[in-house]
Amino acid sequence: CIALILSGWRGFYVWLGREGLVSSNPVQDVRAPKAPKPLPKALSVDDAVQLAEYHATPDTTDPWLECRDAALVELLYGCGLRVGELVGLDVQASDQAAGWLDLQDATAHVTGKGSKQRVVPILPIVREAVADYVRKCPWPMSKDAALFRGAKGGPLSQGMVQKAMARARVSLGLPASATPHALRHSFATHLLGAGADLRSLQELLGHASLGSTQIYTKVDA
């Protein structure tokens, strides 16, 4: 609103200058104040748990796809992964793999922004969901293959994850803010509210700067 007002005044003084009524534009170098950066939109604990426990009805999807979508949500909320990190996971570690899951050691090895690598622990409930998906997936889990697949066997895209989340969101009657990235925000906010320290949370999220993590203190408040 302030920016629009300043733009109007600048235009007005330009016109006055053309008409020879003023010799300078007093608002030419005035800048509007920066709008505060919006806070991340985290879900409530109840809404996040609803999504994590959601299962599509058997007549609307193949059973293995239901298990896949459940594993996706568990990883997003249980590990705080970005969607790009999630779909970039391979079945096993390799020279080409940007990330992979080690179900035996219960860890997710992730390459995030700026090629920053991190290891995130996997909770038992998350490991069980992923293991269930791996058992039921009809496509071979070869070493260099993507862990998560589309219905035709190709690597899962970020758009497919967003669509799966949208289906669950609509079925549960959750707000439009219940997106895949909102689960990452929820992971951070709920951990902080439960007493996690900022440095540990920074490592789990893969933030290069502690300042990026500190914003969740405002969300929690």
**Angle between the N-to-C axes of helices 198-205 and 210-220, in degrees from 0 to 180, rounded to the nearest 10:** 110
Cα gap 186→75, rounded to integer Å: 12
Active site residue 184: yes
Exactly one of 68, 77, 82, 169 is catalytic; name it. Answer: 82
Active site residue 216: yes
Active site residue 113: yes
Q: Which of 109, 169, 184, 185 is catalytic?
A: 184
Tally of CB atoms within 10 A around 47: 20
Residue 190 annotated among the catalytic residues of the structure: no
> Of the listed 55, 113, 143, 199, which one is catalytic?
113
Residues designated catalytic: 82, 113, 181, 184, 207, 216
